[in-house]
Amino acid sequence: MHGNSEMQKINQTSAMPEKTDVHWSGRFSVAPMLDWTDRHCRYFLRLLSRNTLLYTEMVTTGAIIHGKGDYLAYSEEEHPVALQLGGSDPAALAQCAKLAEARGYDEINLNVGCPSDRVQNGMFGACLMGNAQLVADCVKAMRDVVSIPVTVKTRIGIDDQDSYEFLCDFINTVSGKGECEMFIIHARKAWLSGLSPKENREIPPLDYPRVYQLKRDFPHLTMSINGGIKSLEEAKAHLQHMDGVMVGREAYQNPGILAAVDREIFGSSDTDADPVAVVRAMYPYIERELSQGTYLGHITRH
């Protein structure tokens, strides 16, 4: 396993570490990205960085509870790895959280940021920002049955509910009544209609200062910033204000960015990952997966 001792210590409690703990993997993470961050992609990214916290694609509670596939499958080498859940039924989320903890996941994350129509029809994702009490109930239900961290990934607002007061009220409710101690904030609002998920990642303007202010106003909470981050230099600049940085599309489209993360972000003295060696290290994994019936294209499509 690639999880380090610090991560194991963190997993023993739902309390989040202080900003000064440079060994906390949440200081740098790769975002959950539907159709992209599957277990094959995560295995590859782990070869580039031993410390980066990796997130699964969003998995719905319905898929886990009623689906025929093993939606919680991952490789032990992926640690530290977090499961992102999509859902709004506290009991179903609690059931899935227990299953995920039993499978060894290091964190459970609730999706309150995806604006997709598919997601809204299932009453989860960004539309949940409009019902902070329900989000609090969902988080509390999961926290009551697991000891690993339960976190929330959200936006800075939805539709016309985009005032700073609205955002603060949401955080206050979910952290208070829901006892959530860590939030990942995508520094854009989400339009629940009129924009595609892709457009929602690009058209609403980024507002990093608002997220910085949120951290200042809630210093007791652990907060990570997400949205439009394209380099380690940018990540380090954000870390002057935030506890963690989450990188999305750039980590997938330019995975080489992870090669220096352990040294630049986590202070490791190890040599940066060599891209050629990383590709070669995928060969045994591919052979193992093929022997278990995995289609080659499911791996090489990345």
Catalytic pick from 114, 127, 138, 180? 114
118 is in an annotated binding site: no
* Cα–Cα distance measured from residue 272 to residue 196, given in angstroms and rounded to the nearest whole number: 37
Q: Tell me the CB-side half-sphere exposure of residue 93, using CA atoms within 13 A.
A: 28
125 is in an annotated binding site: no
8 is in an annotated binding site: no
40 is in an annotated binding site: no
DSSP annotation string for the chain: ----HHHHHHHT-SPPPPTT-TT-GGGEEE---TTTS-HHHHHHHHHH-SS-EEEEEEEEHHHHHH-SS-TT---GGG-SEEEEEE---HHHHHHHHHHHHHTT-SEEEEEE----HHHHHTT-SGGGGG-HHHHHHHHHHHHTT-SS-EEEEE-S-BTTB--HHHHHHHHHHHHHTS---EEEEESS-B-SSSS-HHHHTTSSPP-HHHHHHHHHH-TTSEEEEESS--SHHHHHHHTTT-SEEEE-HHHHH-GGGGGGHHHHTT---SPPPPHHHHHHHHHHHHHHHHHTT--HHHHHT-
121 is in an annotated binding site: no
248 is in an annotated binding site: yes
Is 114 among the residues known to form the active site?
yes
244 is in an annotated binding site: no
* Cα–Cα distance measured from residue 257 to residue 253, given in angstroms and rounded to the nearest whole number: 9
26 is in an annotated binding site: no
Chain centre distance of CA 145? 20
Instruction: Please give the annotated binding residues, written as ranges.
Output: 84, 153, 186, 226-228, 248-249
Q: Which residues are catalytic?
A: 114
Binding residues for FMN: 84, 153, 186, 226-228, 248-249
